[in-house]
């Protein structure tokens, strides 16, 4: 199943996208947000499945007619993994890491599909990063790697937009990663049961029709079980937390010549098994 958040009456409301491309409003079965839906666990999924089967006369919107938001518009945690593709580690000249590099983006950076990525005036090197992300269903502390699938609600797409000059100004990457609008996410969360192998998914970045990143999640150095165990060895993972697993080779700064983001760019992250995340780029006014 595919789950979205969409705008209705000025609020982010939860929806289920039916196979024929209609959005069903999950408020009809008592859910006020997608986060609350995920927190409600397997019982919520069963109710949603039944709701979709009943072909309700309840509100059904054409997908094109709704304004999609990021599936979790204000995640409690948006955790990112750096240097996690073999091909990207190689292009940056970094060693294959022994320990995952972890940073985060604040919820204020999150935008939905179609929303503008705003290039800050202060950065000369805004860059793109196509990423595959997983969403926590059942939370926990000290999760055992082998039990990883008990904790994954589903998968989505993130563009880890990065101001390279701010990222590199100090050893801490955070300030280059979390400008407002620097975390496009969506267009939906695909539930885990729909993806046979999350470590064998094609992933691409396309800007203005040109493919700039083209890889597969099999290149991931630290995979979902490793990441769940490592992260939860330090802190509690909660339902709706999002972990963006890192970007493959082909980012702007590593190209010759560098290819940074420009106003007017049409940026698409594509993971065919999930969908496409498309955002326009504008200059800060
Ligand atoms: Mg990244």
Distance, in Å, from the CA atom of 42 to the CA atom of 174, rounded to the nearest integer, reads 34
Environment class of 107 (CB within 10 Å of its CB; exposed 0-12, middle 13-18, buried 19+) = middle
Distance from the alpha carbon of residue 97 to the mean position of ligand 1, in angstroms: 15
pLDDT of res. 53: 84
Distance from the alpha carbon of residue 81 to the mean position of ligand 1, in angstroms: 6
Mean pLDDT in the chain?
96
CATH number of 78-283: 3.90.850.10
Distance from the alpha carbon of residue 182 to the mean position of ligand 1, in angstroms: 11
Farthest-apart Cα atoms in the chain, separation: 57
Distance, in Å, from the CA atom of 255 to the CA atom of 129, rounded to the nearest integer, reads 13
Tokens 């504008």 appear where? Answer: 282
Distance from the alpha carbon of residue 221 to the mean position of ligand 1, in angstroms: 13
Give pLDDT tens digits for 244-257.
999 999 999 999 99
Q: What is the mean pLDDT of residues 107-125?
A: 98
Distance, in Å, from the CA atom of 78 to the CA atom of 128, rounded to the nearest integer, reads 17
Distance from the alpha carbon of residue 82 to the mean position of ligand 1, in angstroms: 5
Distance from the alpha carbon of residue 233 to the mean position of ligand 1, in angstroms: 22
Distance from the alpha carbon of residue 11 to the mean position of ligand 1, in angstroms: 29
Distance from the alpha carbon of residue 103 to the mean position of ligand 1, in angstroms: 9
Distance from the alpha carbon of residue 31 to the mean position of ligand 1, in angstroms: 32
Q: Which of 236, 190, 197, 199 is nearest to 45 (CA)?
A: 190
Token pair recorded at residue 88: 């990207």
Q: Which residues make up the environment of ion ligand 1, defined by Cβ < 5 Å?
A: 129, 160, 247
pLDDT of res. 56: 60
Cα dihedral: 266, 272, 274, 277 (round 10): 0
Q: Where are the domains of the chain?
A: 2-69, 78-283
Distance, in Å, from the CA atom of 211 to the CA atom of 206, rounded to the nearest integer, reads 4
pLDDT of res. 52: 87
pLDDT band at 151 (very low <50, low <70, confident <90, very high): very high
Angle at Cα 223 formed by Cα 15 and Cα 78, nearest 5°?
45
The residues with which 152 forms a beta bridge, in sequence order, are: 136
pTM above 0.95, yes or no: yes
Distance from the alpha carbon of residue 156 to the mean position of ligand 1, in angstroms: 14
Distance from the alpha carbon of residue 175 to the mean position of ligand 1, in angstroms: 13
DSSP string, the chain: -EEEEEEETTEEEEEEE-TTSEEEEGGGGT-S-HHHHHHTHHHHHHHHHHHHHT--SS-EEEGGGS-EE-SSSS-S-EEEEES-BHHHHHHTTPPPPSS-EEEEE-GGGEE-TTPPEEEPTT-S-EE--EEEEEEESS-BSS--GGGGGGSEEEEEEEE--EEHHHHHSSS--HHHH-STT-EEEEEEEEEGGG-S-TTS-EEEEEETTEEEEEEEGGGBSS-HHHHHHHHHTTS-B-TT-EEE----S--GGGSSS-----TT-EEEEEETTTEEEEEEEEE--
Distance from the alpha carbon of residue 46 to the mean position of ligand 1, in angstroms: 34
Distance from the alpha carbon of residue 203 to the mean position of ligand 1, in angstroms: 13
pLDDT of res. 94: 83
Give pLDDT tens digits for 39-71.
999 999 999 999 988 866 666 889 999 999 999
């Amino acid at each position: 199943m595919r789950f979205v958040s969409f705008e209705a009456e000025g609020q982010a409301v939860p929806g289920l996208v039916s196979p024929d491309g209609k959005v069903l409003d999950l408020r009809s079965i008592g859910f006020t947000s997608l986060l609350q839906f995920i927190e409600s666990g397997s019982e919520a999924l069963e109710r949603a499945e039944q709701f979709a089967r009943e072909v309700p006369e309840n509100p059904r919107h054409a997908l094109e007619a709704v304004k999609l938001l990021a599936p979790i518009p204000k995640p409690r945690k948006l955790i990112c993994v750096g240097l996690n593709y073999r091909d990207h580690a190689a292009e940056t000249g970094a060693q294959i890491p022994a320990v995952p590099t972890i940073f985060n983006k604040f919820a204020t950076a999150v935008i939905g599909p179609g929303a503008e990525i705003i290039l800050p005036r202060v950065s000369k090197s805004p860059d793109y990063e196509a990423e595959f992300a997983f969403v926590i269903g059942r939370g926990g502390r000290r999760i055992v790697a082998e039990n990883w699938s008990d904790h994954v609600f589903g998968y989505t797409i993130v563009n880890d937009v990065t101001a390279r000059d701010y990222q590199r100004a100090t050893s801490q990457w955070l300030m280059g990663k979390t400008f407002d609008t620097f975390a496009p996410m969506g267009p939906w969360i695909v539930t885990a049961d729909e993806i046979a192998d999350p470590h064998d998914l094609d992933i691409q970045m396309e800007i203005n029709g040109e493919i700039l990143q083209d890889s597969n999640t099999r290149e991931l150095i630290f995979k979902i079980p490793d990441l769940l165990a490592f992260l939860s060895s330090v802190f509690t993972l909660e339902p709706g937390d999002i972990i963006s697993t890192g970007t493959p080779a082909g980012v702007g700064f590593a190209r010759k010549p560098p290819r940074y983001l420009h106003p007017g760019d049409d940026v698409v992250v594509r993971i065919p098994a999930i969908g496409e995340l498309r955002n326009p780029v504008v200059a800060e006014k």
